Amino acid sequence: MGTGPARYRALLLGCLGLGVGVTLAGLGYMHAAAQQAPAQAASTPAVHRAVIDQYCVVCHNGTLKTASLELDSANIEDPSKDSVIFEKVIRKLRMQAMPPQGMPRPDRATYDSLMSYLETTLDRAAAENVNPGRPALHRLNRSEYANAIRDLLAVDTSAIDITELLPTDDAGYGFDNIGDVLTVSPLLMEGYLAASRRVSRIAIGDRAADTVFENYEVPRYVIQQERMSENLPLGSRGGLAVRHNFPADGEYTLRVRLQKNGKTYIVGLAHPRQLDVRLDGQKVKQFTVGGDYQGKRPEQASSFNQGDFERYLMNADQNLEVRFQAKAGTRLIPVTFPNQTAEPEGVFQSPVTDYA
């Protein structure tokens, strides 16, 4: 029984301690809630409007318009409506450059709260309404220009070498059709004017135009043992295929010149060979060249000495001429030899330096 009161007092103290602990914990929770309440209140547009009115509007208003800013009418409830203005405000607040030195200034927490509100609101609005910006002035590159001429004027631009009329397009990031990269220079404008004159002549035509000559050449030392182009018929050998623009319906003349070696002698005349001339796939003329020399052939090239055989080697292609009718427009003209599946026996002669 003697220990009863002491034990009771101990239990009572224990209960008091527990009660104090619980009470302190409750007070601590209430204190934390009291600290959060002002922070939450400070994030409302009304609070930020009060801060701007107190520290900023004195200079940046509709009357003074300092730095061209009118913060008294800026939409703080929806900063995205005045994003340009508030982007400037954020930069100044981040450096604490405003208000200027000597003027009343808010504390660091007010700076951070206002910046956080503006940045968060503007970022959210930008994510919801993505604005890629104003597109750059885009001019056509050479390929696009040629395609536009073809589509608008029905002019086959394969007969026009655009690379001769327009300078090389600028390229960036591996592409030559980026608007920011494609500049317009005086040289380019001159090229466009020259191209327009040529394209207009082709598109409209001129019945009073004089006779026009056009040369198409194969590089002198190209070896022509196989089919030379997809535009040439299967089973062909050597020659070339060109797309020529005929300005009007009429009669045209085609002359063929054969390959010559370094001594100006036509090569490959030892045996007769067929030479086909076609227009859009249709055969216009077939010539037989070579193998028709009637005199005695010298055994060595060094013994030609301006004789008949030398004149034959130099002029064997003088009669390779054909006249034909053609409609106006771009036409494909292939000139080629039918492929030979057999070669005469004998010592092999180089296709470049062969004189006969």
Structure tokens given for 233: 């018929």
Q: Give residue for tokens 């060979």.
A: 273
Q: How many other CB atoms are there within 10 angstroms of residue 166's CB atom?
A: 20
Omega before residue 99 within 30° of 0, cis: yes
pTM exceeding 0.95: no
255, 276 Cβ separation under 8 angstroms: no
Give the domain 236-338 fold. Jelly Rolls (2.60.120)
| Model pLDDT, residue 334 | 93
Alpha-carbon distances of 117 from 101, 107, 183, rounded to whole Å: 24, 16, 42
| Model pLDDT, residue 342 | 65
Element (H, E) at 5: helix 3-41
Alpha helix stretches (DSSP H) within 130-245: 142-153, 162-165, 186-204
Alpha-carbon distances of 22 from 13, 17, 25, 73, rounded to whole Å: 14, 8, 5, 51
Q: How far apart are CA 45 and CA 39, in angstroms?
A: 13
330, 156 Cβ separation under 8 angstroms: yes
Alpha helix stretches (DSSP H) within 129-185: 142-153, 162-165
158, 242 Cβ separation under 8 angstroms: no
Phi then psi dihedrals of residue 340, to 5 deg? -105, 125
Question: Within 13 Å, how many C-alpha atoms sit on residue 326's CB side?
Answer: 26
pLDDT along the chain (356 residues), means of 10: 40 34 36 42 80 91 88 90 91 89 89 91 88 80 89 77 83 86 88 88 75 84 83 86 85 89 78 89 89 71 64 85 88 87 67 46
| Model pLDDT, residue 89 | 92
Structure tokens given for 87: 């982007």
* Nearest residue to 121 (alpha-carbon basis) of 157, 150, 80, 90: 80
Structure tokens given for 86: 């508030």
Q: How many other CB atoms are there within 10 angstroms of residue 176's CB atom?
A: 15
For 282-307, the pLDDT digits (tens) are: 899 999 888 777 777 666 555 555 57
80, 120 Cβ separation under 8 angstroms: no
Instruction: Fill in the amino acid letter for 274.
Output: Q
| Model pLDDT, residue 7 | 38
Q: Give residue for tokens 């010592």.
A: 347
- Round to the nearest angstrom and report the end-to-end CA distance of the chain: 145
Q: How far apart are CA 191 and CA 184, in angstroms?
A: 11
* Nearest residue to 105 (alpha-carbon basis) of 118, 117, 91, 95: 95
For 138-171, the pLDDT digits (tens) are: 889 998 998 898 888 887 776 677 778 888 888 8
Extents of the domains making up the chain: 20-128, 142-204, 236-338
| Model pLDDT, residue 225 | 81
Element (H, E) at 263: none
Instruction: Tell me the angle at which helices 108-128 and 83-94 cross, rounded to the nearest 10 degrees.
Output: 140
Degrees, nearest 5: CA angle 28-34-38:
150
Which residues partner with 336 through β-bridges?
276
